[in-house]
Amino acid sequence: MTIEIADIKVRPEARDAFCETIARAARTVLAKAGGYRRHQILACHETPGRFVLIVEWDSLEAHTVGFRQSPAFAEWRAMIGPFFERAPHVEHFNPVADS
């Protein structure tokens, strides 16, 4: 199991539309990807326009190969990309054992 954390900054005037659009894109595109388990979309309290997307995948490759190299990724980015102030920063994590 791998957890993707994407750090996203959205243009200030586009915040509400981004929330509606990423919620819809997650339901209709992301959640149908192979190896997808669940996601959370979080809005930052301290920095308006900052969001974090957390996605749990079966494996690192389910995200980096299965999803990213599929036509669904282009569809996902076409939906949410126009709201970005800069390119998202994406990292992958593994749970620390016994934590």
Plot region of 58 (φ>0 → left; ψ -120 to 50 → alpha; else → beta): alpha
Nearer to a copy of itself, 86 or 93 (CB): 93
Instruction: Specify the residue, 22 or 29, whose C-beta has the smaller distance to a copy of itself.
Output: 22
Shortest separation between residue 32's beta carbon and a copy of itself, angstroms: 16
Q: Which among 92, 67, 99 has a CA at the least distance from the CA of 3? A: 92
Structure tokens at 74: 């282009």
- Closest approach of a copy of itself to the CB of residue 71, in Å: 23
For residues 29 and 88, what is the distance between their CA atoms, to the nearest angstrom? 18
The CA distance from 99 to 96, in Å, is 6
Residue list 31-70, contact with a copy of itself (CB under 8 A):
39-47, 50-52, 54, 60
Among the listed residues 2, 55, 57, 88, the single contact to a copy of itself using CB under 8 A = 2
Q: Tell me which residues touch a copy of itself (CB under 8 A).
A: 2-3, 5, 19, 22-23, 26, 39-47, 50-52, 54, 60, 91-99
